[in-house]
Each structure stands twice: as structure tokens, then as C-alpha cells.
């Protein structure tokens, strides 16, 4: 049974060596841009996805630019790490280099069904001596069937673009080869052609090793821990006797282990032997067992052993990680951090939100297993693993975070954490990235509404189905304790805890159209799907039964009469004599701005007017809009959607834009709402605290001048001859302390305090 991966060094003649293997990349944080190199194991029969593997692991690469890549090509690909319904992939694959056909092609890794898991995801694998559960023909198009080995059932995904769909389902024992993929919580085998499915022929001799009942593939690591005697079961899947002629040990602590493995295993039977462990000291006790046998392709059968010494802890890392930590990606919605490795087996990253000056307090406890989201001291775990980079989930705009990194050695239950002062850094996310987006837009012009509509539409359309992988998996899903996640219902404030991966059905959530689908002049516009139906500026996660369904298409307004339904902070009741839905306070402004955006974006498209329905009060929405200004969550989410779709929501960028539009009939208004009183809501100064450059902007307005004063009121700097959408001031020469900046706009002045560290 060939279970060892092929040698990366033999992939292709002259192929360049890269610092990160696929196994290393698989341990990095979602959202990072990475480069991997390997051999492609499928072609166009699976569509615009290519699975590649090197000598360490496999990974999927997705992108229409890969259509010319053929099975067997050796490629180097660069893309963004993304998780699509549980499957880790590069998506999009930004670029690739094709080195031509590889000299050595990867052989399918023969595994038993229970070994199909995350560590083999993306690789070409093979199941022997299994039977299809179904009979007859494979369905036309995409379908999922199952195979059975007598004890375990496993999913097989039949892709409609292959020549398998519609063909006869083989009967009797078969061998099936395919890519190991994942869909939600289920792993699945994806065959490429009918040639991947053929009748099973029993080998002469085939070794498989189980330890304590679980298969351990050749080359894998088994954690002995502090167990003195461990049962090893040697199985023979062949029809002739398998002779096992002994076991030898190598490695730093080989003398701690013994095993009498001189047995003859009959055809399709098994024999037990005992692995003995007597630690000769403290800390990690490492060795490799080589089981000699007469299997033609797995002699010897190699297993790495991890034992624990007399102190019941692994060896503590001896070289603390360097303090050289940096962030390679900083946006309003994403941070990607990197740190210098110390040679430890794994690392634990803690993070906390704060003012950028208070440190992470608390240390991990030796022998304790932590998962992402667990709380330690005043911080929580952002990452645990062997990688040296991390990307915490659900960061907010304009926010300071502090990070600390702890090195450790040891498997679960035996961890020994480096207790010296950890590598630490504070970092600030960015704020609104308006830039010159609204150049040429004049709110005083009678064509303002049509000009704004033309600016934000057309834009990139992302399908309603992909909202799960874009907004949910990449931003909305957040960490909680014990490695679990939660999602927040924007209407009710409910925090729904679940085990990854997120699925709508399992969690009971839906994508709520804040500007209701039935309000749209193009209703129904979901089949075929139109841009207005899937616009992600308008879609928010809500509890389906307790928030989405009660809201239905009711107008959004404050309830001033009887309440007829309540779920947490969302409720249905009467405003006057009409039934309305009132979301929690934190979502009121967000909802109003979504509705304003939709009405403006699609107004005039195909001759349609997108005025609000008669029972939806625009005055209520405008009140919410000004009372609940965009917070750092809404700003971060907006910036992410702006990157996805290539357009912005003007009413998040500038509150006063809403003054100029009558949303009841989609006409232009001469603003009469006291714009100067709204300046403070649109004024942002960041980062806080600042150290190198201070940024200031009044969303949607040019800054005509500024003045900076210290806390005693003395003028430090000023300039009155400007016309800038964003003011960027170097502050290297300023002393640490509290200052005030006043900026001048066409509607008056606005003042804000800031801090220089």
C-alpha cells in the first residue's frame, strides 16, 4: 500500500525551490497572499479548479485563469488563502507560472476511509476494496454518492463536467481514486474520470498499521505520551502471508523504545505487537520506528514517535521568538501579522482590543490545550499552530489591537510554553478609504442624484450564493471559546454559537434584504439572479425564524404603539395604525444607509424609479441615519464590500448626502437640514494614538484649511490654502501629548482631539 508522498525535489527539472511548502501554507491564516509550488493532479474536467501537491501536502487553486493548466503540469501559483465551504484553497489564484509537465507524477495515496481528513485535504488519494452504496446509474449533473468498506461510509462527489455522470454505477468491490475535498463538515472523494473507478484486485501482500485501533499512515507521527505499553496492530490486506521481520528505532531517544515485531500475518488478517516506552529523562522523547516487512512498496513502514518524559511535559523552547513582529497587510477590515520563528514546534498568538498602550496580560498554562477564541488573561487566542503568521477574524476599523506571541513545544496535554517575555506589538487598523472617489460629484447640482447613481453603478456582481464565502466566512464569522465560532444577528443582537464551518441551514440564519426584495421594481429578480438581488451592501445576516421572517417586508420604523412580537432586541409592533419592524438600536443607521444606497444605486435602471414604498417613512430612516452614525464595524464591513464589488455606499462616506435626496419619489432636494450641525458625524481623525502621520477627513467634503493647537491652546501648525479630500500631516517632530485639530470646510469648522504617542 503506497502511502508515502512523492519527493518534491523530483517534480520537474530545473524547478525553483521555495521557502514555504504547501504544508506550511496550510497553517497560515485565511486572507493571506501566498505562493505555492507543486504538481497539478486534475485538468479541466473539474472546471476552473486545480488541485496541486508537493512532497508535504496538497491544496486547491481556483480561478478561470487556470483553464490552460493540464493534469501533470508543474506550476508555481500565487493567490489568496480562502475557505470555500470548508475547503482550503487559493481563491482567487492571482497568477501562476507553468513549468511544463513534471518528470515525476504524484501517485495516489492509498488510505483507509477513517484516514480521510484535514491533513490529506487537497491530495490525490485512493480507496481500495470498497463498494458503492447506490446502484443503477450516476445522476446526470452534479451528485453525491457513497462508498462503504464494511464498517465506514464515505462521500463521493460526482462532478457533472466529468464523463462519470450518467454512467453505470459499478457493482462489487472497487478501487476509486480522486481528490480529497471537503464540503461543509463532510470530506469527500472527487474522481476525475471513469478511469478513476475500476474493479478491485487484491494484492499479494499489503501492510497497514493501526495503533490503539486507528490507522497510522507510513510517515505519520503518533503521540505515545507517557503510555508505557501501546498495542500496535499489523494488518495484511493482501492474500498471501506478510512477514514482519522486526522493528528498529532511530532518533534522539531511540533507547527509550522497544518492540518485538517478528510476526507472520496471514492473508486478510492481523497480528498485535506491543510498543514499550520507558522514558530516560524529562521533556520530549523522540524516535522513529521502522517496521521491516516484505510488502513490495512499504518496506520499512515508518512511524515517528512522540513520547513525554518523567515530568509529563514536552521540552520548553530554548530560543524565545524574536521581537521582530510586523503586519504585512493592514486595512480597515483585515490584519495579517508575521513574526520571526524561534525553532519551536508551535506558536500561540494572543490579541486584545485597546488603546494601543495597555499590554496583553496573562500567560498560557503548561499542559493546557488552547483553541482559537479561548480567553487568557485580558486577551483571547487569535491563532495556534506551527505557522509564523496569523490573521485574526473580524477586526474593526480605526481600532488599536495588541498582540503577543508565545512559543511552545508538545502535543495536546503536554504543551510546554516559553514563559519569558513574549514578542509583542500594538497595531492600528485603517479608517474609511474614501480618497478621491467622489471627485466630480457636486451635492449642490440638480443632477446630483443621477451623478451619484452613475458613480456607484455598474459594479461587480457577486452571486447571492457566494455571500456565505465572501461576507460570512471572510468577515462576519467571529471567534468564541473552545475553538467555536459565532455570528451575530444584526436585527436582534443574537449571538449564535456553532462549530465551523458555517452553514445557513445548520445555524438557522439567512441573508436579509434590508431594502426588501418585494419592494424592488424588478421583483422577482432572483431567477435569473440580478445585481440588485445579490448586492452585498444590502445583505445582512439574520436569524431566519426569529428576525428575517418576522420582519418580512415590513417597513422599518420606531414602534410607538402595541408590540406584537419580540425576539431579543428586534420587535414587531405598530407605528400609528400600521405594522412595522424595529431593529436593535445598533442597526438602525446601518439599515437606513443600506436602503438609501439601494434606492440611489438602481434608480433609473431600465427606466425604473426606486422610490420607497408608501408605508416606509423616509423621515424615520433619515432620523436613524443621523442619530446612529457609522461605527467601526460598519466602516470595516463597508470597506470590505467596496473591495468586493468595486463601489461604495455614499451614505456611509458622507451623512449629508442623504439631505439632498427625497427618497419618497427619488428627486433632488435643496438641503435644508443644517449641514454644519452634521459635520462632526462625518469628521474622522486617525490613527489614535498617532506617531508618524495623522490623517483627517470630513467624508464627502474637501478640507480647505486646518489648525493644530496643544492642550494649552497654543497654535502648533496651520494652513489655510488647501482643497484636499484627505489631510495627511507628518507629526514626527511633535512631542507626545494631547492636541486639537480644527479643519475648515465649505459648511464651516469642526474640531477633534487627538493623541501623539
317, part of any domain: no
Clarify whether residues 668 and 726 are in a common domain. no
Clarify whether residues 476 and 588 are in a common domain. yes
Give mean pLDDT, residues 322-333.
84
Is residue 11 scored above 80 in pLDDT? no
315, part of any domain: no
**pLDDT band of 356, cuts 50, 70, 90:** low
Residue 280, all three cell numbers: 530516560
The number of distinct structural domains making up the chain is 6
Q: Are 122 and 57 in contact (CB under 8 A)?
A: yes
Q: What percent of the chain has pLDDT over 90?
A: 77
**pLDDT band of 713, cuts 50, 70, 90:** confident
Is residue 324 scored above 50 in pLDDT? yes
pLDDT at 320: 61
Give the global pTM: 0.83
DSSP structure string for 11-67: SSTTPPP-S--HHHHTTSPTT-EEEEEEEE---GGG-SEEEEE-SS-EEEEE-GGGT
576, part of any domain: yes
Give mean pLDDT, residues 449-478.
94
- In this structure, what CATH number is given to the domain that contains residue 18? 2.40.50.200
The position carrying cell 454518492 is 145
Clarify whether residues 456 and 576 are in a common domain. yes
CA distance 497 to 500: 10
502 CB burial (10 A radius; 0-12, 13-18, 19+): buried
CA distances from 631 to 159, 625, 638, 640 (A): 44, 12, 11, 14
Q: What is the DSSP letter of 545?
A: I
CA angle 336, 681, 736 (to 5 degrees): 60
Phi, psi (rounded to 5 degrees) for 63: 165, 140
pLDDT at 655: 87
Clarify whether residues 415 and 512 are in a common domain. no
**pLDDT band of 7, cuts 50, 70, 90:** very low
CA distance 422 to 439: 47
Q: Are 44 and 15 in contact (CB under 8 A)?
A: no
Clarify whether residues 370 and 514 are in a common domain. no
Is residue 4 scored above 70 in pLDDT? no
For 211-250, how does the pLDDT look when each residue is reduced to its tens digit (9 = 90+)? Answer: 999 999 999 999 999 999 999 999 999 999 999 999 999 9
pLDDT at 90: 94
72, part of any domain: yes
440, part of any domain: no
pLDDT at 323: 56
Range of the domain at 120: 109-199
Is residue 264 scored above 90 in pLDDT? yes
Clarify whether residues 51 and 131 are in a common domain. no
Mark which of 277, 308, 339 sits at the end of a domain: 308
pLDDT at 660: 93
pLDDT at 322: 55
41, part of any domain: yes
pLDDT at 677: 52
Give mean pLDDT, residues 601-618.
96
Give mean pLDDT, residues 633-637.
97
Is residue 676 scored above 60 in pLDDT? no
Clarify whether residues 224 and 253 are in a common domain. yes
Clarify whether residues 515 and 591 are in a common domain. yes
pLDDT at 6: 36
- In this structure, what CATH number is given to the domain that contains residue 150? 2.40.50.140
Clarify whether residues 522 and 601 are in a common domain. yes
For the chain, the average pLDDT equals 92
441, part of any domain: no
Phi, psi (rounded to 5 degrees) for 656: -75, -15
Clarify whether residues 371 and 285 are in a common domain. no
Is residue 675 scored above 60 in pLDDT? no
CA distance 711 to 739: 6
pLDDT at 143: 97
- In this structure, what CATH number is given to the domain that contains residue 400? 2.60.40.10
Clarify whether residues 466 and 613 are in a common domain. yes
Give mean pLDDT, residues 437-464.
95
Is residue 557 scored above 60 in pLDDT? yes
**pLDDT band of 321, cuts 50, 70, 90:** low
Rg for the chain, CA atoms, rounded = 30
CA distance 550 to 696: 42
Give mean pLDDT, residues 483-489.
96
CA distance 4 to 298: 8
CA distance 628 to 588: 7
Torsion from C-alpha of 336, 342, 344, 348, nearest 10 degrees: -30
For 50-69, how does the pLDDT look when each residue is reduced to its tens digit (9 = 90+)? Answer: 999 999 999 999 999 999 99
Clarify whether residues 643 and 506 are in a common domain. yes
Mark which of 101, 136, 160 sits at the end of a domain: 101
Which helix (H) or strand (E) segment holds residue 287: the answer is: strand 284-293
Give mean pLDDT, residues 647-674.
88
Mark which of 673, 691, 724 sits at the end of a domain: 673
- In this structure, what CATH number is given to the domain that contains residue 697? 2.60.40.1930
283, part of any domain: yes
Amino acid at each position: 500500500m503506497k502511502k508515502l508522498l512523492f519527493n518534491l525535489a523530483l517534480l520537474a527539472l530545473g524547478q525553483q525551490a521555495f521557502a514555504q511548502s504547501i504544508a506550511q501554507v496550510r497553517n497560515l491564516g485565511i486572507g493571506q497572499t501566498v505562493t505555492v509550488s507543486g504538481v497539478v493532479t486534475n485538468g479541466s474536467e473539474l472546471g476552473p479548479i486545480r488541485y496541486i501537491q508537493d512532497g508535504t501536502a496538497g491544496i486547491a487553486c481556483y480561478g478561470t485563469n487556470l483553464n490552460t493548466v493540464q493534469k501533470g503540469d508543474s506550476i508555481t501559483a500565487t493567490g489568496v488563502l480562502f475557505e470555500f465551504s470548508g475547503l482550503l484553497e487559493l481563491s482567487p489564484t492571482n497568477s501562476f507560472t507553468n513549468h511544463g509537465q513534471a518528470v515525476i507524477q504524484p501517485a495516489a495515496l492509498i488510505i483507509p476511509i477513517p484516514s480521510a481528513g484535514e491533513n490529506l485535504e487537497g491530495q490525490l488519494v485512493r480507496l481500495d476494496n470498497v463498494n458503492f452504496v447506490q446502484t443503477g446509474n450516476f445522476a446526470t449533473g452534479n451528485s453525491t454518492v457513497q462508498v462503504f468498506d464494511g464498517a465506514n461510509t464515505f462521500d463521493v462527489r460526482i462532478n457533472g463536467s466529468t464523463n462519470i455522470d450518467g454512467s453505470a454505477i459499478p457493482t462489487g468491490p472497487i478501487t476509486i481514486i480522486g481528490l480529497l475535498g471537503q464540503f461543509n463538515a463532510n470530506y469527500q472523494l472527487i474522481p476525475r474520470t471513469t478511469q478513476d473507478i475500476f474493479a478491485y484486485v487484491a494484492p499479494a501482500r499489503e501492510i497497514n498499521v493501526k495503533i490503539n485501533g486507528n490507522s497510522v499512515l507510513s510517515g505519520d507521527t503518533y503521540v505515545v505520551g507517557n503510555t508505557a505499553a501501546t498495542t500496535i496492530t499489523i494488518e495484511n490486506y493482501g492474500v498471501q502471508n506478510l512477514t514482519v521481520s522486526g522493528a528498529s528505532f532511530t532518533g534522539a531517544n531511540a533507547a527509550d523504545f522497544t518492540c518485538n515485531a517478528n510476526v507472520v500475518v496471514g492473508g486478510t488478517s492481523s497480528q498485535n505487537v506491543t510498543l514499550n516506552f520507558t522514558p530516560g529523562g524529562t521533556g520530549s522523547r523522540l524516535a522513529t520506528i521502522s517496521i521491516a516487512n516484505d510488502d513490495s512498496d512499504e518496506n520499512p513502514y515508518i512511524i515517528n514517535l512522540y513520547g513525554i518524559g518523567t515530568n509529563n511535559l514536552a521540552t520548553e523552547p530554548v530560543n524565545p521568538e524574536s521581537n521582530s513582529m510586523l503586519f504585512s497587510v493592514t486595512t480597515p477590515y483585515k490584519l495579517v501579522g508575521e513574526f520571526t520563528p524561534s525553532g519551536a514546534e508551535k506558536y500561540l498568538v494572543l490579541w486584545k482590543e485597546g488603546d494601543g498602550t495597555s499590554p496583553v496580560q496573562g500567560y498560557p498554562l503548561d499542559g493546557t490545550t488552547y483553541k482559537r477564541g479561548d480567553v487568557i488573561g485580558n486577551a483571547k487566542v487569535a491563532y495556534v499552530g506551527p505557522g509564523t503568521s496569523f490573521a485574526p477574524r473580524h477586526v474593526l476599523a480605526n481600532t488599536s489591537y495588541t498582540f503577543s506571541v508565545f512559543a511552545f513545544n508538545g502535543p495536546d496535554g503536554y504543551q510546554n510554553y516559553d514563559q519569558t517575555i513574549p514578542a509583542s506589538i500594538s497595531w492600528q487598523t485603517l479608517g474609511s478609504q474614501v480618497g478621491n472617489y467622489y471627485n466630480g460629484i457636486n451635492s449642490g447640482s440638480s443632477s446630483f442624484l443621477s451623478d451619484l447613481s452613475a458613480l456607484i453603478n455598474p459594479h461587480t456582481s457577486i452571486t447571492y450564493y457566494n455571500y456565505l464565502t465572501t461576507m460570512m466566512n471572510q468577515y462576519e464569522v467571529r471567534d468564541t471559546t473552545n475553538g467555536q465560532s459565532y455570528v451575530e444577528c444584526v436585527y436582534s443582537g443574537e449571538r449564535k454559537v456553532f462549530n465551523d464551518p458555517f452553514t445557513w441551514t445548520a445555524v438557522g440564519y439567512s441573508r436579509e434584504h434590508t431594502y426588501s426584495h418585494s419592494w424592488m421594481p424588478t421583483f422577482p429578480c432572483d431567477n435569473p439572479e440580478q445585481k440588485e438581488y445579490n448586492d452585498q451592501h444590502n445583505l445582512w445576516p439574520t436569524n431566519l425564524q426569529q428576525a428575517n421572517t418576522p420582519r418580512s417586508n415590513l417597513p422599518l420604523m420606531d414602534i410607538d404603539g402595541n408590540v406584537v412580537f419580540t425576539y431579543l432586541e428586534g420587535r414587531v409592533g405598530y407605528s400609528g395604525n400600521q405594522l412595522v419592524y424595529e431593529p436593535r438600536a445598533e442597526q438602525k443607521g446601518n439599515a437606513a444607509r443600506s436602503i438609501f444606497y439601494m434606492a440611489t444605486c438602481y434608480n433609473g435602471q431600465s427606466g425604473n424609479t426606486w422610490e420607497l414604498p408608501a408605508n416606509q417613512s423616509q423621515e424615520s430612516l433619515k432620523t436613524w441615519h443621523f442619530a446612529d452614525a457609522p461605527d467601526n464595524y460598519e466602516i470595516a464591513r463597508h470597506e470590505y464590500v467596496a473591495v468586493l464589488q468595486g463601489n461604495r455606499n455614499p451614505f456611509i462616506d458622507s451623512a449629508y448626502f442623504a439631505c439632498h435626496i427625497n427618497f419618497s419619489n427619488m428627486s433632488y432636494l435643496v438641503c435644508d437640514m443644517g449641514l454644519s450641525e452634521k459635520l462632526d458625524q462625518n469628521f474622522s481623525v486617525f490613527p489614535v494614538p498617532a506617531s508618524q502621520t495623522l490623517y483627517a477627513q470630513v467624508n464627502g467634503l474637501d478640507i480647505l484649511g486646518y489648525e493644530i493647537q496643544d492642550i494649552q491652546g497654543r497654535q502648533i501648525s496651520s494652513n489655510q490654502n488647501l482643497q484636499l479630500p484627505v489631510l495627511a500631516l507628518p507629526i514626527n517632530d511633535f512631542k507626545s501629548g494631547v492636541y486639537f485639530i480644527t479643519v475648515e470646510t465649505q459648511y464651516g469648522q469642526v474640531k477633534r482631539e487627538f493623541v501623539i504617542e
